[in-house]
Amino acid sequence: MHELVSWGRVRLLGEAGVQAGNDATTPAVKITVLGSGYVGLVAAAGFADAGHQVQCIDIDVARVEKLRRGEVPFFEPGLREVMSRAIRGGRLTFGTEINAGHRASEVYFIAVGTPPLADGSADVSAVYAAAKTIREVAEAPAVVGIKSTVPVGTCDAVQAIVDEGARVPLRVASIPEFLKEGTALADFMKPDRIILGVADGEAERVLRDLYRPLQLSSERILVMDRCSSELSKYAANAMLASRISFMNELSRLCDAIGADIHAIRRAVGSDRRIGPQFLYAGPGFGGSCFPKDVSALAYQARQAGVPLEVVEAAGRANEAQRVYVRDRALSMLGGEVAGKVVAVWGVAFKAETDDVRETPALPLIRALVEKGAEVHIHDPEAADNFVRSYGLPVRCFENEYEAATGADLLVVMTEWRHLRNPDFPRLRTLMRTPNLFDARNIWTTFELGKSGFRYLGVGTRST
């Protein structure tokens, strides 16, 4: 998710800090959130919408100015509206510094980035820096909740940091966030579970009070020790990643022997012990969570002398799937790539986001460019991010049909809703060569072979 990758010392407000909104509202709980990425901003906006008084801190001055104007720095459906409402109501403010009023926060949330290091481990330096900032400014007893995804033992290390010279008692808790990009607000407001990793009853009491408005219909809090809470986040993401990789491996077998991955998904998913979720074959998982969390969990397990073979295999299978999809798409050009025009619909790693980190579209587009193809991309939210992030010479199109005009191959990489039922007769007239590669298997029921297309999916019978 869009989290900070570094955190410097945050100064007290007074020299140059400016607030958005006002502090007239009397909150149920006063909260400070360090980090305005996906986790931090959604949490800040969500808690403010629930009636709490929240200040969200970020070291990026330009980012903070945009937030004060109600501008969301990434695409997440519904977030702008909730954030703007909270700003207008005086419940949500932003700054590069913790203001005087929030030095008495009852809860501090650390929601900064933990990016992967070269060896696959998680870089928690920003978490430790944020902990030091809280230690230096806190003027009232508080809970320090770690929402960043962190290795087991991080909470204990943060507790040691805040205990060193703190003026007030600070209780560290692990509160992993299970948001999905594209449905983050709904996931926050109506969570499947709320995990509280605590070391004492007082931290549990404060956090139960804080989360009460988010579980009016039923109790969804799971209380456990901090280490178990930290591991639960990695375990959940690794389990989901493993299901995806398992189906992707099966899809390659289906292509080899002539079976249909859709039929297998229905057969396997109808087993109540398994269920249908995360059983869709495709181009491999991407984004900011699954790849780095699988890597970080595997690294920590190896360091502990207990290698997680299934988790490591899920990572290897994902890389193999990305290569497989790349090569399968290129095969439709018959070995002559130079001078061909290829349209790619969707470059975000999934629909309803503008996140292009670890996007499965990258290996294909990079290979096309290197082999001399002209690449046209269409994505309603992520096209500009893709160009900024990777600097590849591609042409961006607002309209999907303009991107496909003159194409020798059309590849769909992201399952945006408006791409699920395109005007195929129109495409047939616009494209130079009617080759379709469906990396998301969203067009398998259209019998496109009868419409004059050459069609390939992933693990499905070609038509």
Between CA 62 and CA 87 the distance in angstroms is 18
Catalytic residue among 56, 155, 254, 289: 289
Told to judge if 289 belongs to the known catalytic residues of this protein, a careful annotator would answer yes
Name residues whose C-beta falls within 8 Å of residue 375's C-beta, 6 or more positions apart in sequence. Answer: 342, 343, 344, 365, 368, 369, 392, 393, 394, 395
CA atoms within 13 A on the CB side of 160: 5
CA atoms within 13 A on the CB side of 342: 32
Q: Is 412 in contact with 419 (CB distance < 8 Å)?
A: yes
Between CA 146 and CA 158 the distance in angstroms is 9
Residue 171: strand pairing partners: 143
Between CA 93 and CA 59 the distance in angstroms is 14
Between CA 302 and CA 153 the distance in angstroms is 15
Residue 412: strand pairing partners: 345, 438
Which tokens hold the place of 99? Answer: 């203001």
Q: Is 452 in contact with 434 (CB distance < 8 Å)?
A: yes
Q: Is 111 in contact with 59 (CB distance < 8 Å)?
A: no
**Catalytic residue positions, numbered:** 289
